[in-house]
């Protein structure tokens, strides 16, 4: 049975989705059912900086970007939702980059 991960008012949920070519990260307010901010390898500003979108380097870049956006909004703690994916590779690279920026989970 799959456990549902929910964020709170003080700790919104960082939801990570990876496809074969791209990685997406969203910070979601589960109480109001709204996406607070998001970042992905499809964004124009990130596309200019990276050539290959399906590796750990790209995931690290997305992690730093989403962490900087959340810090600007005053979010310091999150709940990490990896959507039943194994914690390794690109998911792990993104999570470590978010932690390096000072976001706790």
Taking residues 80-101, report their average pLDDT.
95
Domain ranges within the chain, ordered by starting residue = 13-100
Examine the pLDDT at 1 and tell me if it is beyond 60. Answer: no
Examine the pLDDT at 55 and tell me if it is beyond 70. Answer: yes
The correct answer on CATH 3.30.420.100 for the domain covering 13-100 is yes
| Residue 76 dihedral angles phi and psi, to the nearest 5° | -115, -20
Those residues whose C-beta lies under 8 Å from the C-beta of residue 17, and which sit 6 or more positions away, are 23, 24, 25, 26, 83
Q: How is residue 13 written in tokens?
A: 């949920």
pTM (predicted TM-score): 0.93
Taking residues 12-39, report their average pLDDT.
96
SS3 35: strand
């Amino acid at each position: 049975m799959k456990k549902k991960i929910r964020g709170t008012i003080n700790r919104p949920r960082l939801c990570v989705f990876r496809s074969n070519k791209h990685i997406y990260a969203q910070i979601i307010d589960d109480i109001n059912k709204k996406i607070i901010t998001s970042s992905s390898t499809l964004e124009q500003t990130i596309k200019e900086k990276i050539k290959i979108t399906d590796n750990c380097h790209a995931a690290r870049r997305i992690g730093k970007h989403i962490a900087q956006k959340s810090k600007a909004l005053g979010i310091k703690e999150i709940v990490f939702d990896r959507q039943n994916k194994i914690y390794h590779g690109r998911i792990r690279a993104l999570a470590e980059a978010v932690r390096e920026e000072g976001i706790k989970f």
